[in-house]
Amino acid sequence: MIVIEGLRVVYRDVISVLHGVSVTLEDGQITTLLGANGAGKTTLLRTLSGVLRIYDGDVLEGSVKIEGQEVTRINPVKIARKFGIVYIVEERTVFPQLNVMENLKCAASSRRDKDVARDMDRVLALFPALKTRLHGKSGYMSGGEQQMLSIGNALMTKPKTMLLDEPSLGLAPILVREMFKILIRINEEEGIAMFLVEQNATAAMKVAHKGYVMENGRVVLEGTREELESNEDIREFYLGSGGEGKEKDYRQSKRYKRRKRWLG
Ligand SMILES: Nc1ncnc2c1ncn2[C@@H]1O[C@H](COP(=O)(O)OP(=O)(O)OP(=O)(O)O)[C@@H](O)[C@H]1O
Ligand SMILES: [Mg+2]
C-alpha cells in the first residue's frame, strides 16, 4: 500500500503546486487521477517516484509511505528497486536507436532472475503489434507503437506498481481502447497496481477501482468508481454528459502540446 499524506510541493523554492494532497493506493488496484491541465498530477507522480528533485522541486510538508516506510526524500533508483515502482512518463521513453527486442532486454538489465526471456514473450503476447516491428529502430515506430513499447519496457522491470502519466495521449481512439484493455489484463493477470493519470476520463473510470480528482493542487473529490461515476460534477465535467465543451478544450490543448513536441 502507498500512502501519501498532506503533501505540499514547490518548484524552485517559490512556485507552490501541491497544497496538502492525500492519496492512498491499494496493492493490486487501479487508481485513476483526473484533473485539468496544471492541476499538479504529474507533480504528484514525480514526488511519488522520487524524481521531483530533478525538476527543481521540493517537498515542504507531508509524507509518502510505501509499505509503511517513509520514502519522501529517497532517491528514485532506490524507490524503484526496493518497492518495484516504475514511472512511465508522458513523453514516450523507448531507446530510439534499439529495436524492440533490444529495448526489452535493456529494460530488464538490472534483473538477476532467469525469467527475462519468458517475460519478453509475455510482453509480445500482450502487444502483438510489436511483433511486426521487431527489427527496425524503435525511434521510427509510430507514437502508439512507442507507447506500447514503453509500457512493455516498464513491465520488463517486474514492477509491483506502475505510475502511468497519460498513456492514451495522442493515440487514435481504437488504440486507446486497445491500450486500456491491455492495462486491465496486466492488472488482473499480473496483479500489478496502477496509478493512472488521465485526461481521457471516461476510459480511465471504466478500468479503475477508485479515483481522485485534483484541481489547483488539491484533491477535490475521491471515491470508488461507482461513487465517482454517479457524481454530478464528474459527469458534467469529465464524463462528457453536458460538459463536452470542457473536455474538448483539454484535448485540444494537449494535441497542441504534442504537436509542438513533434515539431520541436
Ligand atoms: N519544473 C517545474 N518548474 C516550475 N513549475 C513547474 C515545473 N513543473 C511543473 N510546474 C508547474 O506546476 C503546475 C502543475 O504542473 P503539473 O505538470 O504537475 O500539472 P498536470 O496536472 O500534470 O498538468 P497537465 O495535465 O498539463 O499534464 C503547473 O502550473 C506547472 O506550470
Ligand atoms: Mg501532467
- Name 106's bridge partners: none
Find, among 52, 48, 44, the residue nearest to 64 by Cα: 48
Measured from the CB, is residue 41 less than 6 Å from ligand 1? yes
Which ligand number lies closest to the CA of residue 164? Answer: 2
Q: Which residue spans of the chain are classified as CATH 3.40.50.300?
A: 2-84+159-263
Q: How far is the CA of 94 from the centre of ligand 2 (A)?
A: 19
C-alpha cell at 43: 507533480
Q: Which of 47-51, 110-114, 226-230, 245-249 has the highest mean pLDDT?
A: 47-51
Ligand 1 centroid–CA 132 distance in Å is 37
> Is residue 255 predicted with pLDDT exceeding 80?
no
Q: Residue 98: pLDDT above 60?
A: yes
Q: What is the CATH architecture assignment of 2-84+159-263?
A: 3-Layer(aba) Sandwich (3.40)
Pocket probe for ligand 1: among 14, 16, 41, 195, the residue whose CB has the most ligand atoms within 8 Å is 41
Interval 101-155: pLDDT, tens: 999 999 999 888 999 999 999 999 999 999 988 889 999 999 889 999 999 999 9
For 225, the enclosing helix (H) or strand (E) is helix 225-229
Q: Where does the pLDDT of residue 97 fall: very low under 50, low under 70, confident under 90, or very high at 90 and above?
A: very high
How many angstroms does the Cα of residue 112 sit away from the middle of ligand 1?
Answer: 37
Between the CA of 215 and the centroid of ligand 2 the distance, in Å, is: 12
CA dist 152 and 161 (Å) reads 14
| Ligand 1 contact, 217 CB (< 6 A) | no
Q: Is 76 in the pocket of ligand 1 (CB under 6 A)?
A: no
Alpha carbon dihedral 101, 103, 106, 107, in 10-degree steps, equals -110
- Residue 20's nearest CA partner among 63, 71, 53, 67 is 63
CB of 17 shorter than 6 A to ligand 1: yes
Residue 162 is predicted with a pLDDT of: 98
Judge whether 212 and 26 are in contact, CB under 8 Å.
Answer: no
Could you tell me if 23 and 31 are in contact, meaning their C-beta atoms sit under 8 angstroms apart? Answer: yes
Phi-psi region of 129 (alpha: psi -120 to 50; beta: other; left: phi over 0): alpha
Q: Which grid cell sits at 25?
A: 493506493
- What type of residue is 108? A
Q: Could you please report the per-residue DSSP string of 89-135? A: -SS----TTS-HHHHHHHHTTT--SS-HHHHHHHHHHH-HHHHTTSS
Residue with cell 516506510: 69
Q: Please tell me if the CB atom of residue 250 comes closer than 6 angstroms to any atom of ligand 1.
A: no
Angle at 20 between CA 14 and CA 25, to 5 degrees: 125
